[in-house]
């Protein structure tokens, strides 16, 4: 019996050491987790103030819809095709946007001419639509530069685009 107790004793001491080692490792991991969480929470409390300063530095976006929607017809392979586009202008300065509204007939004319000059096959692809949007943005910015003295709008957005 004494021999069997002596054999169990070293094995149980090894298991006890292993259990103590695992418990210490777990406590260390929990401590690191709590410390890291506290550290990141302290950092994030100071960031919203910095973010608020950055947001305030950039003016709020203003949106102006051009109504009615643009409707353009195409003769594609002997077949009559149509495109309907709803457009919204994005600007950052209300007085400049109001000054641009006076020139909407010129802007609408230039956009209709631009839309009707596009090949129908190109407009059927997303890349073609994005290129058209960029050309339309440049067209409106050109009129704004000429009439108001600055580009006024940041982007021209297609809020509805239908090809038939």
Rounded-to-5 percentages of helix, strand, coil across the chain: 65, 25, 15
Percent of the chain with pLDDT over 70: 85
Burial class (CB in 10 A: 0-12, 13-18, 19+), 143: buried
What pLDDT score does 54 carry?
55
CATH for 116 = 3.30.479
Task: Supply the DSSP string of 46-85, one letter for each residue.
Answer: HHHHHHHHHHHHSPPPEEEEEEEEEEEEEEETTEEEEEEE
- The model's pLDDT over 18-34, given as tens digits with 9 standing for 90+, comes to 899 899 988 888 888 88
Residue 87's DSSP bridge partners are: 66, 158
State mean pLDDT over 134-152.
92
What pLDDT score does 164 carry?
87
What pLDDT score does 5 carry?
52
CB count within 10 Å of CB 62 equals 15
Of residues 6 and 98, which shows the higher confidence score?
98
Shared domain for 51 and 79, answered yes or no, is no
Shared domain for 80 and 33, answered yes or no, is no
Supply the range of the domain harboring residue 143: 62-163
Shared domain for 46 and 90, answered yes or no, is no
Going by pLDDT thresholds of 50, 70 and 90, the confidence category of residue 13 is: confident
Shared domain for 44 and 118, answered yes or no, is no
Number of folded domains in the chain?
Answer: 2
Shared domain for 53 and 116, answered yes or no, is no
Q: Record the pTM.
A: 0.63
């Amino acid at each position: 019996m004494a021999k069997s107790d002596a054999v169990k004793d070293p094995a149980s001491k090894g298991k006890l050491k292993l259990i103590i080692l695992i418990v210490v490792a777990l406590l260390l991991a929990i401590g690191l987790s709590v410390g890291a969480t506290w550290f990141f929470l302290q950092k994030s409390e100071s960031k919203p103030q910095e973010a608020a300063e950055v947001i305030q530095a950039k003016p709020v976006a203003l949106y102006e819809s051009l109504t009615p929607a643009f409707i353009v017809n195409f003769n594609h392979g002997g077949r009559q095709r149509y495109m309907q586009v709803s457009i919204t202008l994005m600007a950052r300065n209300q007085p400049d946007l109001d000054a641009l509204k006076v020139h909407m007939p010129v802007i609408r004319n230039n956009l209709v001419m631009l839309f009707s000059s596009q090949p129908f096959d190109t407009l059927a692809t997303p890349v073609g639509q994005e290129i058209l949007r960029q050309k339309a943005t440049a067209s409106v910015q050109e009129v704004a530069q000429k009439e108001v003295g600055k580009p006024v709008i940041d982007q021209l957005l297609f809020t509805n685009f239908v090809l038939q």
